[in-house]
């Protein structure tokens, strides 16, 4: 009855920031269009019917109910932001977060459990695909509040298509990449790039859309396939698989995606590659649904096909990060040990004391330890540290050097949003 959405590809924060920079400059050649969520929507599966009734006010507040033929009944309260609605779905037993948006005639509703900090835990999100069955009598079911520009032809699109009619994979310029990634490539003609220690984004002045190049440290095609199944999932940013994952030859897989990013509906073509030295790259062409055409797919595949691999050079970076790093809060302390031999230790301690009114205990001490092996991608300013735990799980630390008033402190780093300092021990 539900469609499981996929966990985020690692370090999507970098991609999202750059994505907003490029869309603000018109790289997608499309503008968000306001939608009308008023109406009744249904979902039928295995003899069970879910009904979603929504009312959108002039101040962009959206309220409604979610009920089913099995007797469930929830209240929804949210706000329309950009092209999506975010809010709370609740009943007498509790509440979860929700987000919803339109995609290709359906209303996509995701229900998201809160984490321990009462923030949305997007790893728990579930999608429900609803069909509109009735709307406000004054509103056309397919109408938007603003004029829909999604089918507008991009400027100079015809001349560009004619110039590329021969469908050549025209690679030009100098190779770009990072030795820590284990690959470099020459960008196709006309594409310019912006690079971070965690990945790269490419844009074109006549081809609408973006191409993302994300290094990974996976060891075989099965792991690449599993990562591609997850798609991208962050707050208000979604890409989910819209077909099957196909073998594209030469240690490469390909798949189609759809979703929403930065308030716009998008489609994407993704390629996953594997280096003979381990690791590789994900190459993702993203644009609006009407612009995902031959040009951008051809150029993304050209990048994926023409990656020049080498054994990742991480020795200098590993020496830089090989140390004990500490983070302290009022009641917790965390130590991360990146050892020079590639082993990893983490220790977490928490202590609380107090009195809970109404009974109960508050006074505990916890000690947890984790072990594994680590490697690093990026440079001294930013990147990711990949840890493979002894139990088979993986931890990704997105890191960025701490900076104050233009000065960088290379003994202090933000690991996944928390500030750690290098121990002098």
Give the per-residue pLDDT at 273: 95
Q: Which of 107-121, 126-140, 358-372, 401-415 is least confident?
A: 358-372
In this prediction, residue 150 carries a pLDDT of 39
Residues 184 and 290 in one domain: yes
| 80 DSSP β-pair partners | 85
| Cα–Cα distance measured from residue 216 to residue 221, given in angstroms and rounded to the nearest whole number | 12
Residue 14, domain member (yes or no): no
Looking at the structure, tell me whether residues 334 and 409 fall in a common domain. yes
Tell me: pLDDT of 360 over 70: no
For residues 273 and 281, the answer to whether their CB atoms sit within 8 Å is: yes
Q: What is the pLDDT of residue 411?
A: 93
Examine the domain organization and report whether 58 and 130 are in the same domain: yes
Please indicate, yes or no, whether residues 370 and 328 belong to a single structural domain of this protein.
yes
pLDDT at 358: 41
With a cut of 90, say whether residue 42 has pLDDT above it: yes
Instruction: For residue 162, give the DSSP letter.
Output: H
The answer on pLDDT for 331 being more than 80 is no
Question: What mean pLDDT comes out for the span 103-108?
Answer: 79
Based on the fold, state whether residues 55 and 101 are members of the same structural domain.
Answer: yes
Assess whether pLDDT exceeds 50 at residue 374.
Answer: yes
pLDDT of 174 over the 90 cut: no
- Would you state the structure tokens that stand for residue 224, as one six-digit string? 């690449």
398-406 contact pairs (CB < 8 A, 24+) = 398/10, 398/11, 398/13, 398/14, 398/198
pLDDT band at residue 194 under the 50/70/90 scheme: confident
261, 291, 309 - which closes a domain: 309
Q: For residue 403, what is the domain's CATH number?
A: 2.40.128.360
User: Could you tell me if residue 141 is inside a domain?
Assistant: no
Does residue 240 contact residue 184 with C-beta atoms inside 8 Å? no
Of residues 272 and 120, the one with the higher pLDDT is 272
Q: How far is CA 23 from CA 35, 100, 149, 264, 287, in A?
A: 19, 21, 15, 10, 10
Do 301 and 179 fall into the same domain? yes
Question: What span, in angstroms and rounded, lies between the C-alpha atoms of 239 and 286?
Answer: 10
Q: Is residue 145 in some structural domain? A: no
pLDDT > 70 in the chain, percent: 74
The CATH number for 85's domain is: 2.40.128
For residue 314, how many other CB atoms are within 10 A of its CB? 21
241 located within any domain: yes
pLDDT in tens, 198-247: 788 999 888 989 999 998 878 788 889 988 998 887 766 788 899 899 98
pLDDT at 39 over 50: yes
- Specify the range with the lowest mean pLDDT, choosing from 150-159, 181-190, 203-212, 387-396: 150-159
Q: Using only C-alpha atoms, what is the Rg of the chain?
A: 24
Residues 105 and 130 in one domain: yes
**Domain boundary, last residue among 309, 324, 347:** 309
Q: Is residue 140 part of a domain?
A: no
Question: Does residue 286 belong to any structural domain of this protein?
Answer: yes
- Which of 309, 336, 362 marks a domain boundary? 309
| Position 181 in a domain | yes
Going by C-alpha positions, the residue among 105, 89, 6, 5 that lies closest to residue 52 is 89
Which residue range forms the structural domain that includes residue 201? 174-309
Confidence of residue 34 (pLDDT cuts 50, 70, 90): low
Work out the mean pLDDT of the chain and round it to a whole number.
76
Rounded CA-CA distance 386/346 in Å is 13
Which candidate, 93, 90, 82, 80, places its Cα nearest to that of 38? 80
Q: Provide the number of structural domains found in the chain.
A: 3
Question: Is 418 a residue whose pLDDT tops 50?
Answer: yes
DSSP state of 249: S
The answer for residues whose C-beta is within 8 angstroms of residue 327's C-beta and 6 or more apart is 333, 334, 336, 415, 418, 419, 420, 421
| Residue labelled with tokens 């540290």 | 385
> Is a pLDDT exceeding 50 seen at residue 304?
yes
- 80 and 108: one domain? yes
Higher confidence at residue 122 or residue 31? Answer: 122
Same domain, 209 and 282: yes
Q: Which residue has the higher pLDDT, 306 or 423?
A: 306
Average pLDDT over every residue of 246-252: 88
Residues 182, 302, single domain; the answer is: yes
Q: What is the pLDDT confidence band of residue 134, given thresholds at 50, 70 and 90?
A: low
Residue 355 predicted with pLDDT over 50: no
Higher per-residue pLDDT: 369 or 23? 369
With contact defined as beta carbons under 8 Å apart, do 33 and 150 qualify? Answer: yes
Tell me what pLDDT residue 173 has.
53
Question: Does 240 reside within a domain?
Answer: yes
The pLDDT value recorded for residue 17 is: 44
User: d(Cα 180, Cα 281) in Å, to the nearest integer?
Assistant: 12
Pair (191, 260) in one structural domain: yes
Question: Could you tell me the CATH number of the domain that includes residue 239?
Answer: 3.40.1000.10
Q: What is the mean pLDDT of residues 32-47?
A: 81
Identify the weakest region by mean pLDDT among 63-72, 227-236, 278-287, 290-299. 227-236
Copy the structure tokens of residue 98: 């929700």
147 pLDDT band, cuts 50/70/90, is very low
Same domain, 188 and 287: yes
């Amino acid at each position: 009855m539900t469609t499981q959405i996929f966990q985020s590809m690692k370090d999507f924060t970098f991609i999202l920031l750059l994505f907003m920079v490029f869309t603000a400059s018109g790289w997608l050649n499309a503008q968000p269009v306001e939608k009308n969520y008023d109406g009744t929507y249904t979902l039928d599966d295995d003899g069970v019917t879910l009904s979603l009734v929504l009312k959108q006010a002039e101040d962009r507040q959206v309220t409604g109910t979610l009920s089913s033929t099995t007797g469930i009944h929830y209240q929804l309260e949210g706000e329309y932001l950009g092209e999506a609605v975010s809010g709370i779905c609740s009943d007498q037993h509790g509440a979860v977060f929700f987000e919803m948006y339109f995609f290709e005639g359906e209303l996509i509703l995701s229900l998201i459990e809160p984490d321990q900090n009462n923030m949305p835990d997007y790893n728990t999100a579930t999608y429900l695909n609803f069909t509109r069955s009735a709307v406000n009598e004054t509103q056309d079911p397919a109408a938007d509040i603003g004029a829909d520009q999604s089918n507008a032809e991009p400027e100079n699109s015809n001349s560009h298509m004619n110039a590329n009619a021969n469908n050549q994979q025209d690679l030009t310029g100098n190779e770009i990449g990072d030795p820590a990634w284990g690959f470099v490539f020459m960008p196709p003609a006309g594409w310019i790039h912006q690079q971070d220690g965690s990945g790269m984004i490419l844009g074109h002045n006549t081809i609408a859309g973006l191409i993302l190049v994300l290094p990974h440290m996976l060891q075989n095609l099965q792991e690449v396939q599993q990562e591609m199944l997850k798609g991208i999932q962050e707050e208000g940013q979604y890409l989910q698989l819209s077909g099957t994952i196909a073998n594209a030859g030469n240690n490469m897989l390909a798949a189609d995606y759809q979703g929403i990013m930065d308030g716009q509906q998008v489609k994407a073509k993704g390629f996953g590659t594997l280096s003979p030295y381990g690791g590789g790259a994900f190459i993702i062409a993203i644009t609006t649904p009407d612009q995902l055409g031959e040009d951008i797919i051809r150029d993304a595949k050209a990048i994926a096909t023409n990656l020049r691999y080498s054994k990742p050079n991480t020795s200098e970076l590993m020496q830089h990060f090989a140390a004990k790093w500490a983070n302290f809060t009022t009641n917790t302390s965390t130590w991360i040990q990146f050892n020079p031999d590639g082993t990893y230790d983490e220790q977490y301690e928490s202590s609380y004391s107090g009195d809970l009114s109404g009974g109960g205990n508050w006074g505990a001490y916890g000690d947890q330890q984790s072990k594994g092996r680590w490697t690093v991608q990026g440079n001294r300013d930013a990147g990711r540290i990949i840890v493979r735990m002894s139990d088979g799980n993986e931890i990704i630390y997105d890191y960025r050097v701490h900076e104050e008033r233009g000065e960088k402190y290379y003994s202090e780093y933000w690991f996944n949003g928390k500030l750690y300092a290098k121990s002098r021990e």
